[in-house]
Amino acid sequence: MSEPDSEEREAPSPEPRGLPAMIRRRRRLRKRDQRGLTLVELMIVVTIIAIIAAVAIAIYQDIVKKSKLAADQGIVSSLRSAVAIYYGRSNGLFPATLGSVEALVQPAPIYNCAIPPTYEPANGKITFTATIDDCP
């Protein structure tokens, strides 16, 4: 009878011993988690964020310049269309100046880049040579 009693006592005993140990481990882990971040860890995170921000700003500025150049190219395209329509309506004559070409387009063109298009009144050719570097 003593043998079954000892077996019965041994079987339930690992659970109570394991449960308090598990609780203690959880408490230790909780204390470790509540400790927070060190200064070095925070500095690394801030550095990574700064690098990502620097790359994002450079890409954003390049996209803004490309959009300004594309807007100016669209304006030049509408000016070329206006010259073609004027040529057809005025019996083969071209507008005299770039100002008169710009007056044909509504709304009045506003250039974003530093170099405006050039106009040759002899043949009605409008040339636009601005690049991304010419746009602010």
Is 5 part of a structural domain of the chain?
A: no
Average pLDDT over residues 95-112: 91
Q: Which residue has the higher pLDDT, 5 or 99?
A: 99
> pLDDT-derived band of residue 23, with 50, 70 and 90 as boundaries?
confident
Which of 7-11, 31-35, 76-80 ranks highest by mean pLDDT? 76-80
pLDDT score recorded for residue 33: 55
> pLDDT-derived band of residue 16, with 50, 70 and 90 as boundaries?
low
Is 61 part of a structural domain of the chain?
A: yes
**For the chain, what is the domain count?**
1
Identify the CA nearest to 128 among candidates 86, 100, 98: 98
Contact 105, 78 (CB under 8 A): yes
Is 12 part of a structural domain of the chain?
A: no
Is 69 part of a structural domain of the chain?
A: yes
Is 27 part of a structural domain of the chain?
A: no
Range of the domain at 126: 37-134
Kindly report the pTM of this predicted structure.
Answer: 0.64
Is 7 part of a structural domain of the chain?
A: no
